[in-house]
Amino acid sequence: MEQPPPPQELDHASSPCPPPSSPLVDFVAGGVAGAAGIAAGAPLDIVRIRQQQRPTDAAGGAAPGSGGGGLAGALRALASREGGGSALFKGAAYPLATSAFQQAVVFASERAAYRYLCPLPSPPSWLSFASSSSSSSSSSSLPPSAAADAPAASTTSSSSSSSTSSYWRSFLSGFFAGAVQSPLTSAVELLKIRQQLNGAAVGSPQYLGSVQALRRVVRGEGAARGLTRGLGLTLLRDAPSYGVYFAFYAAARDAANAAIVGRADAADADAAAAAAAAAPDAAAAAANATTAARPTPPWWQPQPGGALVQLSAGGLAGVVAWASIFPIDVVKSRVQASPSVDVADEALRTAPRDRPAGVSAAAVVRRAWREEGAAAFRKGMSATLWRAFLVNGVIFYVFEGCSEAAAALAW
């Protein structure tokens, strides 16, 4: 009987499937990246939350730290009124304590979903994030000498071409990851928002700390109702935005890598042509020497897969993802900022079943449109997008760095 041929080993250079890695590595790398991102973006996050509130919130006055003077003015006002630099990190305790786990869940879920999807057939062309024509045009932009003189560039181009047909997998796996982490994110953001809107100076008797915020929500609104407030809006925001996030990062990273390789190969080709014109007999040796002697640039200069690519691609992915769902985030922040009830704790303890239902998303949208118009749904956008670029650039840079370190150690 004829034996079946042995299974072929997967060629990751031409396959949409990533090289195998441990789910534990993805989990730990995502956790470290999440904590680094939260620490980097905390000051801009508190400005975002305060600018998104109604003008008459915060005890009948303007929300502290949401005033004029732009982003820099808001940061200065916040620090000067509420206890110096420590005021810029109000509400950061809950995200820092949980963001490591949250981002660990995101990256582990996204990688697991991507590995599940990668063997599946490619989708119809109308579902693809990049057409084959854009792939071929990107490949054809490389000089003819690149394939002969730089095999690594050929591999990168091949890998990039296969990646362009797999961005839909990045979107679907990101969508799944965003949905998985939404329950945790919703509860953490609710507590963070309540702290960030507390205008008391840090250390004062009126200051709302992390434990006090949790106790007030649980005692005042109930654990189930209070901590799940805004969960539906969080799911509506995070599932599609994480799909955009991971797909755009992959596309931006691949485009940057292809551009850098193309530019380097063009420079090598020019150098080889100049050497050939000066000494025709040494043309081949000059071309090989040019490619072999190409130095590794420092991290702040563009290089394929380098820090600058990861920081910029991650930052742009965060900006695009947040811009795509920003109005939903405004509504969610306002829903979570308004407690379900406004009565004394004693009354709550004596009549817990008579608690009112709280402000709905539809009521928030109607009131915002009536009182502030379309501008209500763009409030805090500047702080959000600056923060998104900073935080997500750091997150992807740290995640990729941790993953590479783990691979080097053969974990």
What dihedral do alpha carbons 90, 311, 318, 50 form, nearest 10°? 20
Question: Residue 380 has what pLDDT?
Answer: 79
State whether residue 411 is helix, strand or coil. coil
Question: Residue 370 has what pLDDT?
Answer: 92
- For residues 65-102, one letter each, b for 16 or more C-beta atoms within 10 angstroms of the residue's C-beta and e for the rest, the string is bbbeeebeebbebbbeebbeeebbbbbbbbbbebbbbb
Question: Residue 58 has what pLDDT?
Answer: 45
Q: Which residues contact 269 (CB under 8 A, 6 or more apart)?
A: 143, 145, 146, 149
Question: Residue 280 has what pLDDT?
Answer: 58
**The whole model's pTM is what?**
0.71
Question: Residue 322 has what pLDDT?
Answer: 94
Question: Residue 306 has what pLDDT?
Answer: 85
Superfamily classification of domain 23-289+302-347+356-408: Mitochondrial carrier domain (1.50.40.10)
Comparing CA positions, the residue from 189, 103, 72, 68 lying closest to residue 391 is: 103
Residue ranges for the chain with pLDDT beneath 50: 1, 4-14, 58-62, 64-67, 129-161, 341-357
Question: Residue 353 has what pLDDT?
Answer: 40
Question: Residue 20 has what pLDDT?
Answer: 64
Question: Residue 284 has what pLDDT?
Answer: 53
Question: Residue 242 has what pLDDT?
Answer: 97
